[in-house]
């Protein structure tokens, strides 16, 4: 039976590594002298000491992780880490409750980008840096980062990697060693992050703004340093940079890694999911731009296209930035955008949702069943990129979709039970389970989640975690079979 005790040394390693990341806002606070240096120092020390105590106290234990241990550890990390992520916020922001601070930390680490904070531009710079930096490290996953840096001293890194990564086909190996794969993915991630940072700076952002919004763009998290999000810049050049890197971050990072190793873009350009992604994004932007122009929302097609391109890409890739209050557009546009956030990004990207590959497989499975109705004895394999997709993958996709729908229904009903209106409740759940951020109504792009009660906030927090851990990876912990044997 899986036990938490053997997992504590690995949790200790993750906490030590997490404490190191707190050095980033600490450095910003020291340079900018924003008055909260002590908060970051205390948070860093508390996290580091906790990690060391767990590690040192477990030195005599040696336990090779099995598959079940990997899922348990990932769930443990993603619930414990936000508690430590709250420390810089609680020590820096007056009258911030633990519930709201935990929501904010979960939102950052799960790359959701929903916030309960207002007056962001008035917060100490280092606090906004920490919020956005959590998105960057959560984008690829702190577990994957740990596997990349440390071989885990005999701990089964493959199980951690499998439990952490997104998508229906998790068993494909890019390299013989999982640690090498993780390092390769993070290398690609940081190279693109550097290019994004420099591009934002060249487009006119200040150095600090370029860093913070690079973090949120690459992690597809949507945290901003201003209440008006990208509307505060009102710059087509800055928006263009954001569009490019949001689109790039919505693609499977493993394909970039393979393209770099082979010195060829052929694999990237021929990938079925990527081609579908490009077509879907292009068609959606054009459709909503034409819709806005036809409804005379903006005086020219050029302006309609500009705002459609930025906001459609932002919501569809589950980033959650906003350049305007798109909730004021005719209702078809924001509803379509929220629909897209459920499936538009690729598996292996930093985006949320069910992933485009699952949608493609589900459509192919539906097509196969329709053919079988007409020809019951026909052998109709489901193929993807010329390869036959195993039946167990298709079964997993169908199970995932059923659970996805069930969690959405239950979470929405819980919010409705507490008195939240239907538009706010349903779109909040859609935005949280897909790790998108803003919904509509009370949680729309011009508002935030601050007006929710504590219970409603915890429902949304739990929904974000379910979405980040891809539902089945978390729900398996609640089955009796998981704890037997």
> Tokens at residue 78, please?
């993603």
Residue 251 in any domain: the answer is no
Is residue 260's pLDDT more than 60? yes
Residue 218 in any domain: the answer is no
> Tokens at residue 2, please?
């899986």
Instruction: Dump pLDDT digits (tens) for 332-350.
Output: 999 999 999 999 998 888 8
Residue 282 in any domain: the answer is yes
Tell me how far apart the alpha carbons of residues 170 and 62 are, in angstroms, rounded to a whole number: 26
**Which structural domain, as residue segments, surrounds residue 313?**
269-339
Residue 92 in any domain: the answer is no
Name the domain count of the chain: 1
Nearest to 250 by CA among 219, 279, 223: 219
Contacts with 26 (C-beta within 8 Å, 6 or more apart), sequence order: 37, 40, 41, 44, 126
How many percent of the chain have pLDDT more than 90? 61
Instruction: Dump pLDDT digits (tens) for 80-96.
Output: 999 999 999 999 999 99
Q: What is the pTM of this model?
A: 0.90
Instruction: Dump pLDDT digits (tens) for 139-192.
Output: 877 656 555 544 443 444 444 445 445 555 444 555 556 667 777 888 889 999
Instruction: Dump pLDDT digits (tens) for 201-230.
Output: 999 999 999 999 999 999 999 899 999 999
Exposed e or buried b for every residue in 189-218, given b needs 16+ CB within 10 A?
A: beebbebbbebbbebebeebbbbbbbbbbb
Radius of gyration of the chain measured on its C-alpha atoms = 22
Residue 45 in any domain: the answer is no
How confident is residue 61, by pLDDT bands cut at 50, 70 and 90? low
Residue 295 in any domain: the answer is yes
Tell me how far apart the alpha carbons of residues 299 and 125 are, in angstroms, rounded to a whole number: 37
Q: Exposed, middle or buried by CB within 10 Å (0-12, 13-18, 19+), for 403?
A: middle
Residue 283 in any domain: the answer is yes
Residue 432 in any domain: the answer is no
């Amino acid at each position: 039976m899986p036990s938490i005790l053997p997992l504590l040394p690995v949790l200790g390693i993750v906490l030590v590594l997490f404490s190191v990341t707190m050095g980033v806002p600490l450095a910003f606070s020291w340079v900018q002298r924003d008055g909260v240096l002590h908060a970051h120092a205390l948070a860093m020390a508390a996290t580091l000491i906790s990690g060391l105590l767990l590690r040192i106290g477990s030195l005599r234990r040696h336990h090779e992780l099995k598959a079940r241990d990997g899922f348990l550890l990932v769930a443990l990390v993603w619930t414990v880490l936000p508690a430590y992520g709250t420390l810089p916020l609680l020590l820096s922001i007056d009258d911030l409750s633990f519930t709201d601070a935990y929501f904010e930390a979960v939102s950052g680490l799960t790359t959701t980008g929903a916030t309960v904070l207002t007056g962001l531009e008035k917060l100490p710079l280092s606090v906004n840096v920490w919020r956005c930096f959590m998105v960057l490290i959560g984008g690829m996953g702190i577990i994957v980062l740990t596997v990349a840096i440390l071989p885990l001293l005999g701990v089964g890194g493959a199980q951690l990697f499998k439990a952490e990564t997104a998508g229906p086909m998790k068993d494909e190996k890019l390299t013989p060693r999982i640690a090498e794969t993780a390092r390769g993915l993070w290398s690609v991630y940081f190279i693109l992050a550097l290019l994004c940072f420099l591009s934002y700076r060249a487009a006119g952002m200040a150095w600090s703004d370029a860093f913070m919004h690079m973090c949120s763009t690459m992690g597809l998290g949507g945290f901003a340093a201003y209440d008006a999000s990208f509307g505060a810049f009102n710059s087509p050049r800055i928006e263009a940079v954001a569009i490019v890197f949001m689109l790039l971050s919505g693609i499977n990072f493993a394909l970039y890694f393979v393209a770099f190793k082979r010195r060829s873009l052929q694999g990237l350009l021929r990938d079925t999911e990527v081609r579908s992604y490009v077509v879907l994004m292009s068609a959606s932007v054009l459709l909503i731009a034409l819709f806005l122009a036809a409804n005379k929302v903006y005086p020219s097609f050029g302006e309609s296209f500009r705002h459609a391109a930025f906001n459609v890409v932002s919501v569809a890739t589950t980033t959650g930035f906003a350049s305007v209050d798109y909730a004021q557009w005719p209702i078809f546009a924001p509803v379509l955008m929220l629909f897209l956030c459920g499936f538009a990004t690729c598996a292996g990207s930093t985006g949320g949702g069910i992933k485009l590959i699952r949608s493609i497989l589900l459509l192919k499975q539906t097509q196969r069943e329709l053919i079988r109705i007409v020809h019951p004895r026909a052998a109709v394999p489901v193929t993807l990129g010329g390869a036959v997709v195993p039946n167990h993958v298709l079964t997993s996709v169908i199970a995932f979709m059923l659970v996805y729908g069930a969690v959405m229904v239950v979470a929405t009903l819980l919010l409705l039970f507490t008195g939240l209106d239907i538009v706010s409740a349903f779109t909040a759940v859609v935005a949280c389970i897909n790790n998108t951020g803003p919904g509509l109504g009370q949680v729309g792009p011009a508002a935030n989640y601050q007006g929710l009660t504590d219970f409603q906030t915890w429902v949304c927090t739990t929904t974000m975690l379910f979405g980040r851990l891809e539902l089945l990876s978390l729900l398996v912990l609640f089955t009796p079979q998981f704890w037997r044997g």
